[in-house]
Amino acid sequence: AQSVTQPDIHITVSEGASLELRCNYSYGATPYLFWYVQSPGQGLQLLLKYFSGDTLVQGIKGFEAEFKRSQSSFNLRKPSVHWSDAAEYFCAVGAKYSSASKIIFGSGTRLSIRP
């Protein structure tokens, strides 16, 4: 069965600093990997996704993520964070050849921005 681990519950970074959020997944085959962002009181919005090909994927709002099969990781990065990036971030894994609906989420990392 697929699973996702986000080891950091809460991270605080200074505005303008770089950011890396960690995500480790467990799945036997090649997974489909996602990062979603949730602003307070809102639903989730897709930041980026990895299906195959180039292991470095670009997303919206200046985010990128790198798939590392050897480490079973899909860490999210941003070179310089803005105060508006404060939100909760979820990593998710979908099983290949499975239905689109069955996507499993990690427990989330809350990002705070220090002025």
Partner 1 sequence: NAGVTQTPKFQVLKTGQSMTLQCAQDMNHEYMSWYRQDPGMGLRLIHYSVGAGITDQGEVPNGYNVSRSTTEDFPLRLLSAAPSQTSVYFCASSTDRVPGELFFGEGSRLTVL
d(CA 2, CA 95): 7
Q: Which of 43, 54, 70, 115 binds partner 1 (CB under 8 A)?
A: 43
Q: How many CB atoms lie within 10 A of CB 105?
A: 14
Only one of the segments 13-21, 64-72, 75-83, 101-109 lies at the binding site for partner 1 (rule: CB under 8 A); that segment is 101-109
Beta strands in 10-98 (DSSP E): 10-14, 19-21, 24-26, 32-38, 44-50, 56-58, 64-68, 73-78, 87-94
Break the chain down into helix, strand, coil percent, rounded to 5.
Answer: 10, 50, 40
SS3 14: strand
Q: Which of 19, 44, 66, 73 binds partner 1 (CB under 8 A)?
A: 44
49 makes contact with partner 1 (CB under 8 A) = yes
Q: Which of 28, 40, 54, 97 binds partner 1 (CB under 8 A)?
A: 97
100 makes contact with partner 1 (CB under 8 A) = yes
Q: What residue type is assigned to position 21 of the chain? A: L
Q: What residue type is assigned to position 105 of the chain? A: F
28 makes contact with partner 1 (CB under 8 A) = no
Q: Which of 39, 55, 58, 107 binds partner 1 (CB under 8 A)?
A: 107
| Chain residues 7-26 in contact with partner 1, contact rule CB under 8 A | 9
- Which residues of this protein are in contact with partner 1, per CB under 8 A? 6, 9, 32, 34, 36, 42-46, 49, 51, 90, 94-108
